Amino acid sequence: MKHIIWSLVLLLFLPALAFSQNTTERTKPTFEQVLSLKGPVSVQISPDGNHVLYSVSSTEWSENRYDSELWLSENGAEPFPLTHNSSGSSSNGTWSDDGEWILFTRSIDGENKVFVISPDGGEAIPLSYIDKSIQSFDLSPNGKTLAFLAEQEQPEEEKTMEERYGEFAEDETGYLLNRLYTVDFDPDFARSHQQPCQQDTTYTMCPEAPKVVAHLEDAEFTITNISWSPAGDKIAIDHQPDPIITSFLKADIALYDPAEKELNQVVSNPSSDGFSTWSPDGNKFVFTSAVENDSSNFYTNNRYFIYDIERDKFMEVAQDFDENLNIAAWTNSGIYATAWQKTRRPIFRLDPQNGTVEKYSQLKRLVYDLSISKDGSKYATSARDGDEVNEVYMSDINGPNNQKLTYFNDQISDWKTTDSEVISWSSRDGAVIEGVLHKPQDYDPNKKYPLLVAIHGGPTGISVPSPVPAYVYPIVQWVNKGALVLQPNYRGSAGYGEEFRSLNVRNLGVGDAWDVLSGVDHLVEQGVVDSTKLGSMGWSQGGYISAFLSTWSNRFEAVSVGAGISNWMTYYVNTDIHPFTRQYLKATPWEDQEIYERTSPMTYINNASTPTLIQHGEFDRRVPTPNAYELYQGLQDVGVESKLIIYKGFGHGITKPKERLAATWHNWIWFNKYIWGEEVEMNLD
């Protein structure tokens, strides 16, 4: 079973682990309570379909970190904690094909190490004979060989250069490539040698540790993903020229025979290619590709193909499906995947013979982490409806037998949460826009409420119904204070098809503002919003749209800009994803200065009048801090009330609980002042 160690950190709240309350009176949750919600991620069903493994995320306030530990449900019974690591997370759990072992990773002194544990419990054993920091791993189907990726060793000449001249870096150079390694998987050796063997000169023999074997050491590419074939005779390899983030546009697929050390390049389209999953017999595999498209693949649909190894040919599938598929597994009954369908996320089945896609199951409104047993008879997932947080389910693939294994929603059972509904309206150009409207539980349609607009990032993100939407915006608390909160799925959002995702090409900011303002107008016309009490906020692309609304419009009483773009030219020359700008604006600044100006908040800075809070991570490479400083200085120069807060040590997201709590307080204080006229201070108790 393949597993990739993800380095990116989610910017969404993490749902909930359970406790029971018998009280009927609902309470208003605090910021800390919402940010402390526990929940399931990375669900993995055992190969025989009897057991379900998953991770539970939790908040460790004293250590200012988010923790993850493995939990297990055996034969549908009550889950129990499988790991407990007081010094860090246990994550990326995956089964051996025989179901005898569970492999996972822990960070030890800044390095990712592989551990193994029996599903029956007991002590987790480190595979200490692997002396490298693991990037990703995959255990062979026979359970004998562990393949993994790790960075190559720093070349000696680079070490010598650094010793003599210190540390410096030329842009887009000086990186280390990911290399492929294999080693015998030997839990018995690991168990018996958890401490270094002390060899006596006469009496003690120390068995030799399994040897780590390097592969493709001279390859002029970095490997990003690996997957053993079902027969265990080859490894599918995703690779790209280097680790630079935009090099995914040149990613290709190869098959590697580790026994013969032979590499066969099989998919090499001009743009990005990516391996998805093997067929059950190992004679074919599914892959995604942008084919020749490197000018619009940030917002157009992926294309899907089945590659026939023996015939050396591929067939395009899912051609009539107008969204992106998240492929989970290929079984004898078809290829299973999830995909956004507006604000729903059902399970789909792709027929590998005729290439058609049909909706298979609507277990819940939102289905994540789909995992299917080896024989294809059962699946496990985390899923929820719009008024719930995620739960873990185990189900028969062809029957109605759905079993809920967890009770995370008990955590919020006595809370005053939001009532969410999906609404729609027509934008200025006639485009139909949907959004999620969060209302108080005692909502009165005859009353006019303050309205706060919380805009998602992406732009190909999506907002969906939730009882406890969070991150750094205290949405539940504002709703309980007596406000409505609108989360618009503006043009460019995922779930609405390729044409909709393309509507803000060369129209960024402008078209997005139409969608937000027309949503506000829609609610004002319904008589449920006080048009004198409007606020807007968002992070990343949502921060950019809020910045645009701050300078381009005077409709709002307050705005919060989180990691937002203020000037497309400033952004273009500083970001680590230059192609993003070229694709959406269809030009560089030197080719079309007008489009960069028309879509930049700074162009309208002399018209700005809205009090604006700016929040930004100190080391943000995606939207670098010059965007924050430029907007702040411009607002200061034209006399607009503004505040800039830099969160020390963070990149594009606020990934530690204490700073996330601080950012939440900063937004609470800002909007309470300008929407409700209240002076609030941070709670130091």
CATH of the domain at 298: 2.120.10.30
Examine the domain organization and report whether 302 and 392 are in the same domain: no
Examine the domain organization and report whether 443 and 550 are in the same domain: yes
Q: Give the mean model confidence (pLDDT) for residues 254-261.
A: 96
Residue 496 inside a domain? The answer is yes
Q: Could you give the C-alpha distances from 433 to 72, 73, 387, 521, 578, in angstroms and in order?
A: 41, 41, 22, 13, 28
The tens digit of pLDDT for each residue in 501-538 reads 999 999 999 999 999 999 999 999 999 999 999 999 99
Examine the domain organization and report whether 222 and 235 are in the same domain: yes
Residue 336: half-sphere exposure toward Cβ, Cα within 13 Å:
27
- Per-residue pLDDT at 373 exceeds 50: yes
- Per-residue pLDDT at 174 exceeds 90: no
pLDDT-derived band of residue 4, with 50, 70 and 90 as boundaries?
A: very low
pLDDT-derived band of residue 193, with 50, 70 and 90 as boundaries?
A: low
Handedness of CA 586, 592, 593, 598 (dihedral sign): negative
Residue 20 inside a domain? The answer is no
Kindly give the pairing relationship between strand 402-404 and strand 357-361: unpaired
Residue 572 inside a domain? The answer is yes
Examine the domain organization and report whether 313 and 364 are in the same domain: no
Structure tokens at 277: 């999953």
Alpha-carbon span 186 to 116, nearest angstrom: 10
Examine the domain organization and report whether 428 and 445 are in the same domain: yes
Residue 15 inside a domain? The answer is no
Higher-pLDDT residue of 195 and 30 is 30
Interacting residues of 563 by C-beta distance below 8 A, sequence separation 6+: 539, 540, 543, 615, 616, 617, 620, 622, 623, 628, 652, 653
Examine the domain organization and report whether 420 and 283 are in the same domain: no
- Per-residue pLDDT at 433 exceeds 90: yes
Taking the CA atoms of residue 468, residue 471, residue 477 and residue 483 in that order, the dihedral angle to the nearest 10 degrees is -90
Examine the domain organization and report whether 471 and 579 are in the same domain: yes
Residue 95 inside a domain? The answer is no
Residue 23 inside a domain? The answer is no
- Per-residue pLDDT at 593 exceeds 80: yes
- Per-residue pLDDT at 472 exceeds 80: yes
Closest CA to 405 of 677, 14, 18, 6: 18
pLDDT-derived band of residue 10, with 50, 70 and 90 as boundaries?
A: very low
- Per-residue pLDDT at 14 exceeds 50: no
Examine the domain organization and report whether 533 and 488 are in the same domain: yes
Alpha-carbon span 128 to 145, nearest angstrom: 15
Contact (Cβ atoms closer than 8 angstroms) between residue 388 and residue 365? no
Contact (Cβ atoms closer than 8 angstroms) between residue 412 and residue 389? yes
Total of domains in the chain:
3
Examine the domain organization and report whether 309 and 364 are in the same domain: no
pLDDT-derived band of residue 203, with 50, 70 and 90 as boundaries?
A: very low
φ, ψ dihedrals at 451, nearest 5°: -125, 125
pLDDT at 8: 30
pLDDT-derived band of residue 164, with 50, 70 and 90 as boundaries?
A: confident
Given 284, 317, 350, which residue is the final one in a domain?
Answer: 317
Alpha-carbon span 69 to 106, nearest angstrom: 10
Which of 6-10, 165-169, 266-270 tops mean pLDDT? Answer: 266-270
The whole-chain average pLDDT of the chain stands at 92
Given 255, 282, 317, which residue is the final one in a domain?
Answer: 317
Closest CA to 100 of 135, 138, 141, 40: 141
Map tokens 């990773």 to a residue. 105
Alpha-carbon span 508 to 630, nearest angstrom: 19
Domain that residue 341 falls in: 34-85+319-414
Examine the domain organization and report whether 338 and 313 are in the same domain: no
CA distance between the termini of the chain:
48
The tens digit of pLDDT for each residue in 60-81 reads 999 999 999 999 999 999 999 9
Alpha-carbon span 52 to 394, nearest angstrom: 8
Residue 282 inside a domain? The answer is yes
Alpha-carbon span 557 to 569, nearest angstrom: 28
Structure tokens at 252: 């290709």
Examine the domain organization and report whether 221 and 260 are in the same domain: yes
Least-confidence region, from 106-115, 153-162, 232-241, 391-400: 153-162
Given 399, 414, 429, which residue is the final one in a domain?
Answer: 414
CATH assignment at residue 536: 3.40.50.1820
Closest CA to 87 of 113, 115, 60, 114: 60
Examine the domain organization and report whether 299 and 424 are in the same domain: no
Residue 567 inside a domain? The answer is yes
